[in-house]
Structure 1
Amino acid sequence: MLSDRYDAEIVKEVLLSRENYKPFPTSEDRSEWCELPQNLKCFWINKGESRLNYSWPTITATQYMDFSRTGNRVRYDTVLLDRRQDLASLVIAECIENHGRFMDDIVNGIWCICEETFWGIPGHGYMMRRQDPLPDVSDRIIELFAAETAALLAWTCYLLKNKLDTMSRMICERIHFEVKTRILDPYLQRTDFWWMGFNQENMLNNWNPWCNSNCLMAFLLLEDDQQRREAAVVKAMHSLDKYIQRLDPDGGCEEGPKYWIYAGGMLFDSLELLYGATNGKLDVFQEPLIQNVGRYIYKAYIDGSFYANFADCSPKVNVPADLMYRYGLRIEDARLSGLGAIELKKKREKSTFVQFSIMYRQLSAIFHYSEMEQYIGESPYLRDTWFAEMQVMAAREQEGSSDGLYLAAKGGHNDESHNHNDIGHFIVYCDGSPMIIDPGVGTYTSKTFFSERYSLWTMQSAYHNLPLVNEAQQLAGRPYEADRVHYHQEATMASITMNIAKAYPEAAGITSWKRAFKLIRDSNPYIEIHDQFQLTHTSDDITLVFMTPHSPQIEGIGSIALQDVNNHGLTIRYNEELFAVSVDTIILDDEVMREAWGSQLYRIMLSAKTAVNHGDSIIKISK
């Protein structure tokens, strides 16, 4: 899409020089900074003031080694990422106020970061050729946060260069040296980083656009040699093409809405950088695939901060308002821009504060703030959504509103990026409130991405809304998949059917398990889950699982009520002749899980009363 259309000769003709590349006003270009709304100025100056006379936290060797010793990814990562976010806040505060009072703290922050042995996190040290509890300073790998750090320092130099040079010319020279040594040179010289896609295309995920976009920023802002700038742009386009080629035509993000921020969202950042650095000459925003990638995020939207959260995704996702707004404008989609405007109006000034240290997004959010405040757009509440490649459907009672029932269900396979073993899984919301849920994912540790991943309960099919048969759960891997998947929708109904038998091991003894989901839109709307199964031998070890954040109330024979604190609720009806009901309480001790759901979740289990070798059951869910 990129490299075939825009070859090296075209790049040479259209790429702006560093001197002519002016994506945002520097601290000396005062008019746009001075015109920012007063409330926004106060928000960022207050953030800067909270770090005046700041004692930058130390990062020690043993802190880094904590990951290899305990598997903990939080203690070291938090200090490293806070350093970057604090520097970004100080830089923006200085650009807004322009009195120089934040400069000493900015210089200290720059110096601290430049002194770090490795700009990445310990969990990504596996990329180094020599494995050790400490990073190898001679092996300059580029991973997510090393690339992000380079971009942050590049933006700092771009915005404040004259002020920094007045204090000492060594500051920006140090930034140039460190970024060149750690990022720019390795980016041009090496092709073996897996995320580039030149050697391992099948592994590509959000790392590709995430790393490429930040490396591009560093080149565009810091590199003086125009030939090296051109070479970086050409290489980035080739690498991004590897990622784009494996995207689903309908734009589905198998990593879920949270990772769309760093997958489809970072792809947009990369394309926007190429667009801006060439005065719009490199432009693929009218391509249907690129437009569909953007539209994914509102197709996965439920209500408030809730999104359909399959894979490693929490139910509540803070999608950057400005990212959705700008993406929507670029592809002329008023729903996408409208969702961005909704997000801004919910969070006001806080919407310009972007997770990690993505200065590009923070600057863009700041300078689009007033524009977004006035934007209306179109409703993001789609009635029906279908992603054919991922085999994910979503349906709600009515277009344009979160009132009523919402159903999302999935087929797919168990080798997706950030996979959970969840073929045939579903979620149900009522009036925008979660009722039957996907628990999401806990705090990342060393187990999350390596051989022990499926020892974590959040990844297991037993804690998704799925059958358990003969104590056997679904297994991970590409062969474990849904079969004969069919989707259908019309005005009065949306449905998906599939056979999920292949998702289970032979020990489960499942010959066939046809699972069908329907949302019926009539005068009394309801959701139906229809299971028809055939086993290799008779068994009474058959259980249907339903996960919920609300204490289930057994109302009577064959009826379970769920209700939230705002009195939104629904009733689950089942055949009491077939199933006995029980409830497990799952105490949540993980901070990420508690933030999403509170102190506990509940696992409703409908267990077979008698031994059978086949069965046919219907669960009905209604308000």
Structure 2
Amino acid sequence: MNKQMLLEIVHKMKPVDLSLYYPKGDAAAFWKRALSSGVLQADISEIRAEAVRLDGQSIPELSYTLFSIYSRTGSRLEYERVYFERRRRLNTYVFLALLEPEHPEVLEKLEDILWAICDEYTWCLPAHLPADHNAADINRYIDLFSSETGFTLSEVLLLLGERLSQLLRSRIHHEVERRLFRPFLENGPYDWETARHNWAAVCAGSIGAAALLSVEDPAMLADILLRTERAMLHYLEGFGEDGACLEGLGYWNYGFGYFTYYSDLLCSRSAGRLDWFKQKKVAQIARFQQKCFIDGSHVANFSDSVPQVLVHMGLSHYLAEVCTDVEHPPSALRAPYTEDHCSRFAPAFRNLIWTRAGKEDEAWRAASYFLPDAAWLVSRHVSEAGSFGFAAKGGHNAEPHNHNDLGHFILSGRGEIYASDLGSGEYTADYFGAGRYHYDCNGSQGHSLPIIDGQYQLAGREFSSTVLHASAAEENDELTLDLTQAYQVTGLQSLIRSFVWHKEERPRLELTDTYRYAGIPASWTERFVTWREPELLHPGTLLLPGTMTRGVEVTYDSLKVEPEITVHVYRDHFGMEKLWYSLDFHVLQLGAVGNLVFTFQFL
């Protein structure tokens, strides 16, 4: 689309008013129904509980000491905890002001935090700024959180309107323009405008959405939307036709969420003339969430994703309305108001206005999916013995938020994980720098993969896998991968890994690694990763114990391999130390060929 065509649409756009959010634009009626209906009672109770927690607390300061910690140590958590606490405070008082307009003290607290956010040196996080930046040009930088903040403040202006003071409304307009719109138009293009991952959707989507709400000049709005639309095209290029988000479900929630929030406002204001959800690929991406869950809240958490994910009900219900075959999530998976540690306003608000009563299912239905572009096999199996899950992946080692994990797998049952993906670790400077693959959660040393001649998989697009066979059937799911190119090991001629997932009452996974080597390898170790402390029952059999059940029995040929159990420690995404165990099977008699078979049997 060119600028002239876009400008014609902009000139005919519907006015900005509350009908963008509420039926017939009647905010008072919506919040009155919300207070008396059952569907939002848990959310409203959680919001009120947060207000009680905040009562009497002063607004936390974003001091220079906090700001400088990242440049001095590479640690992000100290500054970001305070930054996100301020956003939680903003969200809480916005929602309380909408729910309880009769309380003027709530509006006073809201105006104070709005003013404080306008006072911030930058809306960017220190981790996203160049080390040599200076105060004179600080506003030229736009990151995920500065764009989100501008979008949030633009929505708050519309939602609260003249209940906010004229001075505050004027200042918010000024800050959003100088921190977002002007830099976007005058200092771009930004690297994230051509990114094929969440940055394009969140940054451009937030700026485009903020502009749709607050830019009155048609030419300026058209310029912003033209750049935003191009960024969204790049974002969608990051997906294959299977709709899989290689960054993991958490980043699907994030990136595709902001893509959706922007798209909804664009479609509403353009009266349907601009509608991203008419595209087949977009609808397929909308179905990704239901394909990720393997057992309760446990997901196929490949890449930088946490092992358990709760659902944004508002986003989920919206997608189910605008796209066919999108399943409604189980009500038990509802994400509480406080679940998002980044305290993002857009999804929290839409959990209130987009969630529909009577749309929840009791559980995800049993299903198996092979996603050919991502090379993921994901299975949910339900029997009289309970619910069970299995996932395995191929792909390449230059994916967004990449982990060196080709051939890795996850195994869960009855609410417990037995073969684990450590997920995302604590984000630091080194985590996204030269030391990334020294972190166990990122390097192949922290995944269920072979270690050949003491060497792990390497990062890079050339380190890849090939799918030789994949099937998702009623009785068995199967995946066979050629992992030869995942390693840079002189002498490795072939490495084929095959999975057969037998969907019996108590399911069974058979894993076979077959290799050929020029000569004889110095060592060969089959590593499996688990949070369960393995127990050796007798030669040929180990137990991965469950908490509520006996767990999973691992059988192997004790004449071919010898097990070794080692405990490790890593820091998870929230900076907490967690134990994990490597279950290493060392090949006893090395040869030029090998065939190693392991069975994981649920008890």
Q: Normalising by structure 2, what TM-score?
A: 0.92
- How far apart in 2 are the matches of 1:460 and 1:187? 36
Q: Partner of 2:186 in structure 1?
A: 189
Following superposition, the deviation at residue 522 of structure 1 comes to: 4.9
Supply the distance in 2 between the matched residues of 1:427 and 1:22 (Cα, whole angstroms): 42
User: What SS does the corresponding residue of 2:241 show, helix, strand or coil?
Assistant: coil
Offset at residue 361 of structure 1 (A)? 2.3
Map of 1:71 onto structure 2:
74
Q: Deviations over 1:498-517 (max 9, x none)?
A: 1111111134x311111111
1:436 maps onto 2:419 in alignment: yes
Residue matched to 2:132: 132
Of residues 492, 497, 503, the one that matches 1:515 is 497
User: SS of the residue aligned with 1:333?
Assistant: coil
CA change 1:318–1:523 in 2 (3 A) is closer
Judged with a 3 Å threshold, the aligned counterparts in structure 2 of structure 1 residues 107 and 306 are, in CA distance, closer, same or farther, namely same
Return the alpha-carbon distance in structure 2 between the equivalents of residues 549 and 261 of structure 1: 26
Q: Tell me the percent identity.
A: 24
Distance (Å, rounded) in 1 between the aligned partners of 2:204 and 2:364 = 30
Alignment partner, residue 294 of structure 2:
302
Matched position secondary structure for 1:209: helix
Indicate how the Cα distance of structure 1 residues 341 and 578 shifts in structure 2: closer, same or farther if over 3 A, else same: same
Q: Which residue is 2:84 aligned to?
A: 81
Once residues 266 and 2 of structure 2 are traced to their aligned partners in structure 1, the CA distance between those partners, rounded to angstroms, is: 15
For structure 2, the residue ranges without an aligned partner over 5 or more in a row are none
CA contact (8 A) 2:392 2:409 kept: yes
Aligned length: 596
Cα distance in 1, alignment partners of residues 485 and 410 from structure 2:
21
Change over 3 Å in CA distance of 1:4–1:522 after alignment to 2:
farther
Mark the CA change 1:19 to 1:310 in structure 2 (over 3 Å): closer, same or farther.
closer
- Structure 1 residue 568, shift from structure 2 partner: 5.2
1:326 corresponds to: 318
Unaligned runs of 5+ in 1: 198-202
Report if aligned partners of 1:84, 1:357 keep a CA contact under 8 Å in 2: yes
Report the residue type matching 1:114 in the other structure. C
Q: Which range moved further: 408-417 or 256-265?
A: 256-265
Which of 172, 176, 180 is the aligned partner of 1:175? Answer: 172
Deviation at 1:398, TM superposition (A): 4.6
Cα separation, 2, equivalents of 1:568 and 1:321: 34
State the Cα deviation string for residues 305-351 of structure 1 (Å, max 9, x = none).
2110111111012331211121112103351xx2164423xx6xx35
Q: CA deviation at 1:23?
A: 2.5
SS in 1 for 2:386: coil
Counterparts of 1:292-371 in structure 2, within 5 Å, are: 292-335=284-327, 338-339=328-329, 341-344=331-334, 350-351=336-337, 354-369=340-355, 371=356
Mapping of 1:475-490 within 5 angstroms?
Answer: 475-490=458-473
Q: After TM superposition, give the deviation of residue 457 of structure 1 in Å.
A: 1.8
- Superposition pairs of residues 440-589 of structure 1, within 5 angstroms: 440-507=423-490, 509-522=491-504, 525-567=507-549, 569-588=551-570
- Residue aligned with 2:553, SS: strand
Structure-2 separation of matches of 1:140 and 1:318: 35
TM-score w.r.t. the length of structure 1 is 0.89
Instruction: Give the direction of change, closer, same or farther, for the CA distance of 1:70–1:229 in structure 2 (3 Å limit).
Output: same
What is the aligned partner in structure 2 of residue 110 from structure 1?
Answer: 114
User: Once superposed, what is the RMSD of the aligned Cα atoms?
Assistant: 2.6
Deviation string for 1:274-319 (max 9, x for gaps)? 1222233322324221111011111011122211011111101233
Distance 1:523 1:545 in 2: 27
Shift of 1:247: 1.8
Whichever residue aligns with residue 351 of structure 2, its letter is A
The DSSP-based 3-state class of the residue aligned with 2:148 is helix
**Offset at 1:599?**
4.3
Residues 415 and 280 (structure 1), Cα distance of their counterparts in 2 relative to 1, 3 Å cut: same
Q: Distance in 1 between matches of 2:575 and 2:338?
A: 25
Aligned equivalents of 2:309, 2:18: Cα separation in 1:
37
2:594 aligns to what?
615
Residue type of the partner of 1:148?
E
**Match in the other structure for 1:23:** 21
1:47 to 47, 50, 55: 50
Distance in structure 2 (CA, Å) of the matches to 1:404 and 1:28: 44
- Letter of the 1:423 partner, please give it: L
**Residue 160 of structure 1: aligned partner:** 160
Judging changes above 3 Å, is the alpha-carbon distance between structure 1 residues 5 and 558 closer, same or farther for their aligned structure 2 residues?
farther
